[in-house]
Every structure is written in C-alpha cells, then in structure tokens.
Structure 1
Amino acid sequence: MSSVSSDHIELIPSLKGVTVFSDRAQLAFVASTALECGTHIIHLRPEGNWEDMITNTLLVKVQDGSNRHVAVHDVRLKHTDLTEEVREGVRVLKDSIDELQGKIDAVTDKKKVQSAVEAAVEKIEKKLMIMGERDCPSRAHKQLTDTTAITLFLSQPSSWMELICFISGRKRHVRECLLELKDEETKLQASLSKLQEELGEMQRGKRRQRRNTTVEVTLTVREQPTELKLNVSFVVTGASWKPLYDMRVSSSASTMDLTYYAQVQQRTPIDWNKVQLKVSTAAPHFGTQPPKLATWRISLKPPIANLKPRLLAMNLRGMPMPCAAKAVDTTDCNAAPREARVKQAIVSSSSPFSGAISSFHVLGLTTVRNNNRLVKVAIAKQTFPVELEYHAVPKSDKRVFRTAKAKNTSPYIFLPGKSHIFVDSTFMCGSRLDLVPAGADFSASLGADERVEVVRKEVKRTRSIVTRVVRSPLVRMDHVYEFSVKGTVQRETTLLVRDQCPLSPDDEVKVCVVEPSSKALKGRLTADGMKCAMDQMGMIEWKLKLSPGANNHVFRYAFQVEHPERLTVRGV
C-alpha cells in the first residue's frame, strides 16, 4: 500500500439538512474532496459560525461508498479567539446612520409639502362651500369682488362637478401619499434605532472578541485514491417549531380537509438556505442515567411539655426569652406535631401515546432565515369523514352551536396547537386542537348556526305546603320548563340539548326529577323515543334526531324541591 505524508486540507461544508425539535435543532453538513492515499488532516470551517454547537452532540462519519478505504482516527474541536478592531466598523455604522438620517429628512420634507397641498385644497373646498351657500351667484360676486371669469363660473352650476371631482381626487391622492410616507418613515426610524444600538455597543469597547470554531478530522486513505464525502452533524439551540392546523369542513359532503403545518423559527448564527427540513416531536436529552433519590430523614420536635415550664420561669424572673421561643405555641401543649415540609413537586401525566416520537419530512427545499421569524411549511394533508352535531344549552345561551366529530385515521400524531376553522370556505373562528394520537377521535367547534333554534320557556313555578300528620309541614316547589326545537337541516343529524337539575348537600332538602321520569332516565329513552341521561352532577342531556327538511319538536323538563317549612332554600 503506497502512502504519502500528512497534509492539511481546509474544507467549507454545506448545510444540507435540518431536523427541528421543540427547543433546538440538529444541523447536517456535507463536505467532499478528492484524496490520495495517506494520512490527511482536514479542517472543516463553516461559512458562518459554529460557536453555539453543543459539543457532545458532534458526529462526523464517512458517507457510504467511500468508507471502505477510509479510516477516521481522531475528531476534535479547535477554538480560535480573535480580537477585532472596531474603529472601521464604527466608521461604517456612522456612514450608514448618516445615510439613513438623510433619507428620513427627505421623507419629512415630502410630508411637509403634501401637508401644505392638503391645506390649500381644503381651503379651496371651504371657499366653494361658502359660495354654494349664497342665495345667488351675483350677490357672492359683489361680496367677494371676484373677476368676470369667476362670476361666469358661478352662474353655471353644471360646471362645478368637474372641480368637485378634481378636489376630491386631489385630497384622496394627498392622503394616500401621506400614509405611504408615514410607513416609510416608520421603517427608516426602526432601522436607524437598530444601527444606533449597534453603534453604542461597538463604541463601549475598543476591541471586540470573537471565537471561531472549526472541526479537525484526522483520517487515512488506504489502497486507492477516493472521493471523500464527510457527513457532519451536531445540535444547536435557538430553534423551535410548533404545529398549526387548517381545518376546512364541507357541510354538503360531511368531510374535513385538515392541513398540518409546522411553524419554524430560528436565531442560530447561520441562515438555513434551501435545506431538507424535518420536524420532530423528539426531545433530545444528554443525561442517560436515571436520577437517584437521597435518604429522606425526619425527626421529632423538642418536647413542648418539658419546654413550657422553663420558658414560663424565665419570663417570671424577667429573663429574656430565647429566640427559639418565637416558634413555639404554648397555648396548646398537647397539639399534634405538624407534618414535615416537603418541597412542592411538579407532577405531570401523559397518555400512552404521548411518548411516541413522530418525524415529519417537508417536501422540497426550505429556507429559514436566522431572524427568529415564523416560517410556515406544510407537512401533511388529510381528509376525514365527519359527523355533524348540534349542541344547545338554552339556559345559558340562545344560540345553537355545531360541532364536527372525526377520527384521526392518518399515521400522524396531532400535537396541541392553534387551528383555523373554515365551514364551506367561510372562516368561522380560531381555536385550539388538543393532543390527538393516531386512531383517536377529535372534534372541532364550527360556531353558531341560525338554521336551528332551541327555545327554553318556563311554563310553571308553584309553591305549596304539604301537611303531614306526625312531622312538620313541607314546602314543595314545582318547576316545569318547555323546550321547542325548530329548524331546517340538509341531512339527518343529531341535536344535543343540555340542562341541569339542582343539587343540595343538605339531607332535609330533597330534589326529584319528575320529567323525564326515573324510568326513562334509567332506560336512557323517553316515551317519544328521545334518548336522555343524567349524570351524578345533575347534568341532563336529550339527544334528538333531526330529519332532512323542516323539524319541530316539543318536550318538557320538570323537577320538584321539598324542604321543611322552617328552612329557607336559596338558589332555586
């Protein structure tokens, strides 16, 4: 095997791929060169800076195809601290500030000119309005001592329209110019403030320290020359992503088109120009050992009963009380000792699916600048069949709300995030989607729908006395409400109507639901075929089927409250 002496090669790797996690990102670079047989020391120098690299995540490997003839011996980081003179930078910044200030002054002059034009046009308009309010043009002519041309103009009202149109158009043009100049001035002022801040930071130090980080790779090429390709990857902070959903529901087709977006932002030292982007739900951790618990020891307090006589004796003799006595409560010597104080722990729970890691590859190449601005990229689009339901709580709100229920049949986990909901191409509202594992059900609120109406009306409220032979009389209060459902739907759908029954913690106050009957609640079906149910918190729910076309349903809800006459019940 022939060999040559060691030589130093400098390469600038190109950023090809980025994997973004919740609070950091993994950058993948590629560097290539042709190498002869022998030992080589390769210096990988970035176009930007790698100073924010998490060093223990650095990985360098030879790409498949050339690894058979290449042996990597050593990979190490090289840091070079550079001291830069800032005088040249200060001069450049001052020139830029002067240039910006000149542009701002020019914009200010333009604003003054446009404001003067606006004032002149308004003055002409005001004079014309005064002329129009005169009884006749001749009188206006005498009072204003106008020329013959003005008198002729005033005597022909048909010619006023052109002047009015000219004045209106001129005013509109001036105001548009003023708005544009104001926007331009705001942007220039923001740029000027940024440059002035940079100048202040630079002038505070005569020199500026900067660290350059490079990767040094020592390797040997055996047997034959090769075309080397090195893959370099590491994790950096300053990057994140969060999900965003676009949910479009079609009422006629009963489908939902859900587009899954990733909003990516980064403030790393380099731009991500045309990279293969991937977002991941993984959370990289660098501690591999589970935590260990130290011994938890507790102890008894000093016996308070033995301490009390000594404290009282010291007090009677006029001796100062010991400082520890401030923490002793001598009023109750037999009080139970307090529990040992434990630092509040943060407890969290997760579903069986939340531990699963999902990665989403973004099609095509993506560019994300290092200005910390959000960049929205689509990662998936799915269509789900939905079941539309109406929900009404007429006791609290007269409106009837519609929801769309669907099942996540995609292979993706929908992470918690904001969602934009559209119904039949009309934006309805912004909402939030909770965690939806693959195969789980989820729903989206579609807002109020005026095509269905549910009216709750009180038809009876009575108070009567129930006499008893042995015991004291009872007060009975009867409450009866009537629900009227009206509306028109295109296809069969479900309406859920909710109300509540009062609850009492006092055993002497009895509450009984009269309608629907206990038999109907137990069997979850009313006499007219409506499903009904009541939970332990007193929430009652009726489930109605709305047929295509017009619908009209009426049902009642009644309950009784009984209590001894000597008691006063509030809240009902």
Structure 2
Amino acid sequence: MKFALRLSPAYTRAPWLAGALLASAAGACAAQGARISAVTLYPGSATVERVQSLAAGSTQAVFDCLPAGLDARSLQVAADTAATVVGDIRVRESERALASGCASAQQARLDALDEQLAAVGAEIDALQLAQTYLHTVANGGIAPAPAPAGAAPKTGATAAPIAATSTTLQRTALDQLVQLHRAQQRQQALQLQRKALEQPGAPGGDRVSTVTVTLAAPQATQLRLSYQVRGPSWSPSYRALLDSDSGRLQLQRLALVAQNTGEDWQDVQLTLSTGQPLRATQGPLPRPWTLDERPEPPPEAVAKRAMVAAAPAPMAMAMRETAADDAPPGVQQDMGALATTFRISQRVSVPVGGERLTLTLASEPLQAQLLVRTTPMLDASAYLVAQLPQLEGVWPAGPVALYRDGAYAGQGRLDPGNAALWRQGLSFGRDERVQVSTAPERSFSAATGLTDSGVERTIERSWRVDNHHARAVQLQVLDAAPVSRNAKIRVQSQYEPAPADTAWNERAGTIAWTQELAAGASAQFSARHQLRYARDLMLQEQR
C-alpha cells in the first residue's frame, strides 16, 4: 500500500528523521493492509467493503489488487472520523502480472498444487526405480561378488541364505508396491483438485483494478471503500420436514454461496439479501394506442405481398407452436418491505474458484393443512399434499428437499411468488394407505334430430377410493371435464356427488371433489358428459 504523509518544516530540516518516519509509517500501513471486512451478497452480484488503516496526516490511500470487474460508478468511500476529508477517487486497470504483489489467490493455490504434484511425481519415479532394481536382482542381473584370493571354491548354496534373501526381496517389493499405489492415489487426487480449481475465463482473472483516494486525515482513522462486483451469487434452497400425524411443517431456508471474483473472501462479515440491484429499477410505461384509417398500399407492395404469400413456408414456421420465524443461532433475519436480509453473525470465508458453501439461514415452524390428492384418469395413486399458510417476507423460488416423518421423500420446487403454490401445495409423495381404483371409461354415440342431422356423444367415468388409515383423511379427487370453445358444440355434465369446485386452480373444466374420508371407509365418484353437435362438424378434441 502507498501512503503520503505531510511533514512539518522541522522534519524537513532533519532529513534522516523524516526518512525514518516515512519508513516506519509505510511499514506499519503495509502490515495492516486493506482487508475485506464485509460483503453483502445478492443473486448475481455483491457489495464488497474493504477497510484500510490510515496514520495521522495521510493524504492518499491506495487500494490495489481489486477485481477488474468492479463497477466504478458504485464506488463509495467513507472514514470513521468526521475530520477526514475525502477528495477525488481514481480507478486504474492493469495486467495482474504487471501489478506488484497481486498474484490471485486462485493462482497461488494452483502453484501450491503444482509443487505437491511435482513432489508426488518425484516420489513415484523413485519407487518405480527401486522396483526396477528389485526386478534386476531377482532375475540374477547383478553378478555375485568375486571370491577372495586363495579361498576355496563353493561347491553349493545352502537353503537358509536363499530363503532369507527371498523373504527380504518379497517384503521389500510388497512395501514399495503399497507405497507406490498410495503415491499414485495422492497424485490422482491432486490432479482432480487442480482440474476443479482451474476455471479459464474467470471474471477479472487476468486483470486487476487500483483505486487511489486523495484525502486529508488530520488524525488516525479507518477508511472504508465499498464497490459492486458482478458474478458472485447465492441461490436459495429449502428443506421441508413434515410430521404427517400433526401436520407440523418445519421449513428451513438454505443458501448456496459461490464466488469467482479473483480474490478470497477471508473471515468476512457476510450478509445475504434477496434484493435484485441488477434488475431494472423502473417498470415499462404504456405505449400510445392510436387508431387511424389504413392507407392503400402502392401496387408494388401488393404484388410483392402476393409473391410472398405464394412461396412455400419454411419448415420452422410451419411447425411453430404457441403455448397457452425462528432464525437459527448465528443468523439475524430482517424482513424488509422490498427484500429480506440474513446477517451471518459468525465470520465466513468463501474461497475463490466456484466452491459452493451451504449456509442455514432460518427455520420457520408452520402448521400445514394436509390432504390426500388423486387424479384417477391420469394416475391411480394417492399423494400426500401439505397446503401452506402465507409466508412473511421475500422467498425467492428454489428447489426444496422434502422429508416426511424423518424419511427423504424427494425433490420439489418452492415458489411462493406463484399463486398456484397456495392452491396446489407441496406434495410429499405417495400415500400407500389410500387405494384408488378406476373403472374403464364408457363412451357411446347416437344420432339426434328428425333427419339424424346431429350427434349426441356420452362419456361416463367412475372411481372408488378406499382409506386404509387408522384415522380420517381429507380427500381431494381431481378430473377434467370437456369445455366447449364453439357455440355449435354443447356440453352437459352430471356428477355424483356434486363437486366442490368446477374450476379448480382457476382452470375452467377442472373438477375437484373435496371431502373427509373416515378411517376404513370408501367413497364413489362418477362423472357423465353429453356432447351435442352437428353431424357435418369436424370435432377437434384435446385431452
């Protein structure tokens, strides 16, 4: 870090004293540095705050090795003491390789992994060399030492030395093979770590920014610099734990945090926010809607339009379709009018490189309304559904892990912003103690009218639901009824018993029966639909 200090005339008359003071101040400031103190993380961006200690009389502060992707328009500088006056702020971007002391944390970890890989590679080479030597000895490749002069020649080898040599070779070879296998495993693990850490094209990876602040600090102070940077993000995730006997539901809020800004967030005060600073701050305004007489097109345009109409349509156009609270320890939750923030009490470290950190933010105890839902014509099964009460605060959409009575039931999606969630609820898997049986659909047609000019078609459906629980359940049976979109097609439907809703989930023709089914009881449901239309009408039916 670079600092400039004002020196009084007395110091200027003593150059050695001024130099000593400058060296002392520079050394102290360099030791303190400009550390990251706090981060407010949004989906897709973050506000990073750095703190630098300034000595009395400082006129300049330099924040170097910052991410190149920071938003210069978002820079804010503030001092802890009111006497400090902040002047102009300058931002300079340069190559990381040319900036002194700005090696990225990611590159430092890559270099450390390369050193470990080199050491493991040398160990593997040494063990393989030792194995080659043992093979040479075992195959007689090394000649025995010559006998001393005058010694009597050996007439034969005893069995004891041969057995001892064989055992020694065996043990040594086995020990070295085990060491070689373990070294190769360490090498593979290090290579996987390096591959996971390597992220080419990371934002701001090859360049860094330097922010220089001109100021006047008559006394020692802390200078805070904050800036916005794109890329880091947190995504919501949820865990729902349901007690099917009492209907109590524990809804846990989780956060998956990751960042690849080029700098480590080491021991920082982390705050997560559901705000969206990257989104537009103003919605669209209505465009003018005017009516006027269409002018007659010129003859050339009429001829060109006729040629285009006569040309065959491209296949892509022909196939186009139109589609119709209780916060856990260590987290302070603040439900604002526009966003919900979670302040992590403990300091958190988020390394660069895309490694995801999972944090538990809050746990909401809820009382859910349980029901058993079935759609017999599509699936003759019953599913346990928990209908949730309205949730306070902002809940971004995200995946939810579903647990029923302590057992994992599967994955779902929680989207409180979608009104359908409050009608459909969260499904916690099949209820095997509720049995659904479906009779085959019956359909027959007959001619109507004096001249047999009309057609009357009748469709009959029926189902049976049995409750094998030792307690009553709230049952919901869903079915689709035909809906006419043409005045020439008339539909008349009859149900037994009468359904509770004929437009469930705000969909016309979606029939819902809702009733309590006692323990060991069964219920019958049936629907009869009559369709009347002219014989010459080509009926288009979609199910």
TM-score, normalising length: structure 2:
0.65
Q: 1:329-382: per-residue Cα shift (whole Å, max 9, x none)?
A: 4799xxxxxxxxxxxxxxxxxxxx999222221232211100111111112111
Written as runs of structure 1 = structure 2, the 5 A alignment for 1:162-177 is: none
User: Closer, same or farther in 2 for the Cα pair 1:543/1:397, shift >3 Å?
Assistant: same
Q: 1:74 touches 1:219 (CA, 8 Å); kept in 2?
A: no
2:43 to 22, 25, 28: 22
Q: Tell whether 2:500 aligns with 1:531.
A: yes
Question: Residue 187 of structure 1: SS of its match in structure 2?
Answer: helix
Correspondence for 1:434: 415
Whole-angstrom distance in 2 between the partners of 1:383 and 1:277: 25
Correspondence for 1:71: 85
User: Closer, same or farther in 2 for the Cα pair 1:217/1:450, shift >3 Å?
Assistant: same
Correspondence for 2:242: 249
**Amino acid in the other structure paired with 1:27:** V
2:227 to 234, 244, 252: 234
> Paired residues, what number?
433
Correspondence for 2:210: 213
Whole-angstrom distance in 2 between the partners of 1:331 and 1:422: 59
Correspondence for 1:359: 341
Q: 2:67 touches 2:208 (CA, 8 Å); kept in 1?
A: no
User: Closer, same or farther in 2 for the Cα pair 1:186/1:490, shift >3 Å?
Assistant: farther
**Amino acid in the other structure paired with 2:465:** V
Whole-angstrom distance in 1 between the partners of 2:512 and 2:377: 13
Q: Tell whether 2:79 aligns with 1:62.
A: yes
Question: Residue 189 of structure 2: SS of its match in structure 1?
Answer: helix
Q: Tell whether 2:543 aligns with 1:556.
A: no
Whole-angstrom distance in 2 between the partners of 1:513 and 1:91: 74
Whole-angstrom distance in 1 between the partners of 2:129 and 2:121: 12
2:188 to 186, 189, 201: 186
Correspondence for 1:40: 58
Whole-angstrom distance in 1 between the partners of 2:479 and 2:131: 62
Written as runs of structure 1 = structure 2, the 5 A alignment for 1:430-509 is: 430-436=411-417, 441=422, 443-458=425-440, 461-464=443-446, 468=449, 470-472=450-452, 476-489=456-469, 491-503=471-483, 509=489
User: Closer, same or farther in 2 for the Cα pair 1:459/1:215, shift >3 Å?
Assistant: closer
User: Closer, same or farther in 2 for the Cα pair 1:213/1:396, shift >3 Å?
Assistant: same
1:283 CA displacement: 2.8
Whole-angstrom distance in 1 between the partners of 2:362 and 2:197: 41
Written as runs of structure 1 = structure 2, the 5 A alignment for 1:56-455 is: 56-63=73-80, 66-67=81-82, 69-77=83-91, 83=98, 98-102=118-122, 184-190=186-192, 213-221=210-218, 226-284=219-277, 303-304=298-299, 327=304, 329=306, 356-410=338-392, 412-436=393-417, 441=422, 443-455=425-437
Q: 1:111 touches 1:178 (CA, 8 Å); kept in 2?
A: no
User: Closer, same or farther in 2 for the Cα pair 1:533/1:191, shift >3 Å?
Assistant: closer
Q: Tell whether 2:542 aligns with 1:540.
A: no
Q: 1:486 touches 1:551 (CA, 8 Å); kept in 2?
A: yes
Whole-angstrom distance in 1 between the partners of 2:206 and 2:379: 64
Question: Residue 521 of structure 2: SS of its match in structure 1?
Answer: strand
1:445 CA displacement: 1.2
Q: Tell whether 2:70 aligns with 1:53.
A: yes
**Amino acid in the other structure paired with 1:253:** S
Q: 1:384 touches 1:409 (CA, 8 Å); kept in 2?
A: no
Which ranges in structure 1 are unaligned for 5 or more consecutive residues?
Answer: 113-175, 202-207, 309-324, 333-352, 517-524
After superposition, the CA RMSD in angstroms is: 5.0
Correspondence for 2:330: none
Q: 1:104-143: per-residue Cα shift (whole Å, max 9, x none)?
A: 667999999xxxxxxxxxxxxxxxxxxxxxxxxxxxxxxx
User: Closer, same or farther in 2 for the Cα pair 1:461/1:106, shift >3 Å?
Assistant: farther
Q: 2:77 touches 2:86 (CA, 8 Å); kept in 1?
A: no
**Amino acid in the other structure paired with 1:216:** V
1:414 CA displacement: 0.9
Q: 1:457-489: per-residue Cα shift (whole Å, max 9, x none)?
A: 1485555555x5x44365544443332110134
Q: 2:270 touches 2:344 (CA, 8 Å); kept in 1?
A: yes
User: Closer, same or farther in 2 for the Cα pair 1:54/1:406, shift >3 Å?
Assistant: same
Q: 1:492-515: per-residue Cα shift (whole Å, max 9, x none)?
A: 442111222334556565432233
Whole-angstrom distance in 1 between the partners of 2:282 and 2:380: 57
**Amino acid in the other structure paired with 1:432:** R
Question: Residue 550 of structure 1: SS of its match in structure 2?
Answer: coil
TM-score, normalising length: structure 1:
0.62
